[in-house]
Amino acid sequence: MNFGLIWRKQQLRAGLTVPRRILALSNMERYLLIICAASVLSISLLIITLIRLWGQSGASQCHKKLLENFMALVSVFRWAPTRSTSEHQIQVVEHQLQKYYKSLMALSGKEYMTPSHHMSLHLPECLREFGPIHGWWGFAFERYNGIIQ
């Protein structure tokens, strides 16, 4: 699939100009950019929808607890992957992770907790020790290797 051609057609239809640095990307890089943008949009819409459905005064207590649990996780994803790290950010991540796991255990029980849940509790410690995630996290590289295989 030629994403460059698709981008140019969309550009002509919408009367927009695409920055040259985007047009200079390879097809794989454009594909990953589209996926990233779609995931950001879908998560944003999910947040707005859940707040409108479960944040109202008429929502059940269960839904309110689920919303609180989800928003704690969203806060972790908002504060943890920033390009710079401060002690305040690390404390926010630590507090929100603890809040998320406590509410997760209250909602679903300990049997749903996995080793990955435990490992993520070490994230604040790793942020203090190693700095911003983008400098030491290899998920994107590992995923790209999985795509190549």
Give the model confidence (pLDDT) of 99-112 as tens digits: 999 999 999 888 88
Query: Residue 27 domain-assigned?
Result: yes
- Over residues 52-69, the mean pLDDT reads 92
Q: Is 17 helix (H, G, I), strand (E, B) or coil?
A: coil
Query: Residue 15 domain-assigned?
Result: no
Query: Residue 42 domain-assigned?
Result: yes
Query: Residue 94 domain-assigned?
Result: yes
In order of 9, 31, 55, 118, 121, the CA distances from 6 in angstroms are 5, 11, 39, 43, 42
Domain, as residue range, for 73: 20-148
Query: Residue 81 domain-assigned?
Result: yes
Please state the pTM of the whole predicted model.
0.67
Query: Residue 3 domain-assigned?
Result: no
Total number of residues shown for the chain: 149
pLDDT in tens, 125-135: 989 988 888 77
Q: Annotate 55-69 with b (16+ C-beta within 10 A) or e (fewer).
A: eeeebeeeeeebbeb
Can you read off the two tokens belonging to residue 82?
């920033």
Q: How many domains does the chain have?
A: 1
Query: Residue 8 domain-assigned?
Result: no
Query: Residue 140 domain-assigned?
Result: yes
- Over residues 11-22, the mean pLDDT reads 60
Computed over every residue of the chain, the mean pLDDT equals: 81
